[in-house]
Amino acid sequence: MTIDHPVALAPAERAVRLLGGDLTEKALALHLDGLAGVDAVGLEQRAAGLATRSIKTSSKAWALDTIIRTCDLTTLEGADTPGKVRSLVAKAVTPDATDPTTPRVAAVCVYGDMVPYVVEALGSLHGDPDAGLVSVAAVATAFPSGRASLDIKLADTREAVAAGADEIDMVIDRGAFLSGRYGLVFDQIVAVKEACRRPDGTYAHLKVILETGELVTYDNVKRASWLAILAGADFIKTSTGKVSPAATLPVTLLMLEVIRDWHRLTGEKVGMKPAGGIRASKDAVRYLVTVAETVGEEWLTPHLWRFGASSLVNDVLLQRQKLRTGHYSGPDYVTVD
């Protein structure tokens, strides 16, 4: 990427610290294009090796509970209704009515116009998932395509935050990123981050969706991960769940390695959320192992790790019930999302 003249960027704190006070698009491009290339074979071999790791039976109950506790229970359909959202909230709060020891999920993730219904349905259980409560997450910025003006993206975000969203899942402009307009993508993330600001000065947490299935190469995923973190992302997230491939273990590993490198460089912890395509408990456990081996078990809390899923919880509940009773229940044991 070549930029003939310096274009000033929004002075995001992290980028200023890393790249210097004279923050320009050229400086950002030089940093991103100067990152070491990804060894695709090596990455996929590391991911395959992690996928073969097993966990002890004594750890399985902990793993299943951790999956539930770090799951964003999600419905993002054009046919969503207040009634469907209320049912999802009921499941988020009480995933298994037959077992009161089942933890609550981390968050309920919906479109922005559904946020008020989630807030109302949660009532006193709306709050910090690290404290056993349930957060409200909203997709924004013209999800899933991201094809809208910045004004519309910011209005989308502000409306969701004003309605009570604790977390915003935004999408980057993949067209701009793939054409090398890193500065535009960067400035939009910074602007959305500011739109997450509440009247009391606190911020809704910002998850930045890269839509890795459209980024084509591992090198692009690495650059986009760095860009999102530099612009202020609290979490980086693989996918919308609307594009195939969605989350994969190699891509998640690569993004976790960027998070690890950022933490080693700055001491700051950034969260990670794989989303889309993770439906079975055994697959989710592989992701937990990958997190533990790459950034450490301290990341396995709702504050730093999430699964974006709609059907994963059902399989986890079945596995959890088998662990408790020694057998599976019938198909009506779990709710149909």
| CA pair distance 216, 130, nearest whole angstrom | 35
- Which position among 91, 193, 222, 237 bears the catalytic label? 237
**Residue matched to tokens 């912890």:** 269
The answer to whether 247 touches 239, Cβ cutoff 8 Å, is yes
| CA pair distance 143, 158, nearest whole angstrom | 14
Backbone dihedral region for residue 257 (phi beyond 0: left; psi -120 to 50: alpha; all else: beta): alpha
- Which position among 26, 193, 207, 273 bears the catalytic label? 273
CA distances from 216 to 37, 178, 185 (A): 14, 9, 17
| CA pair distance 187, 215, nearest whole angstrom | 19
Tell me which H or E stretch contains 18.
helix 13-19
Residue 210 tokens read as 């890269």
The answer to whether 161 touches 147, Cβ cutoff 8 Å, is no
Instruction: Please confirm, yes or no, whether 332 is among the known catalytic residues.
Output: no
| CA pair distance 254, 248, nearest whole angstrom | 10
Instruction: Please confirm, yes or no, whether 273 is among the known catalytic residues.
Output: yes
In one letter, which amino acid is 7? Answer: V
Instruction: Please confirm, yes or no, whether 237 is among the known catalytic residues.
Output: yes
Tell me which H or E stretch contains 122.
helix 115-122
Q: What are phi and psi of 300, to 5 degrees?
A: -85, 55
DSSP annotation of 23 reads -
- Which position among 166, 169, 173, 234 bears the catalytic label? 169
Question: What is the longest distance spanned by two Cα atoms in the chain?
Answer: 67
Catalytic residues: 169, 237, 273
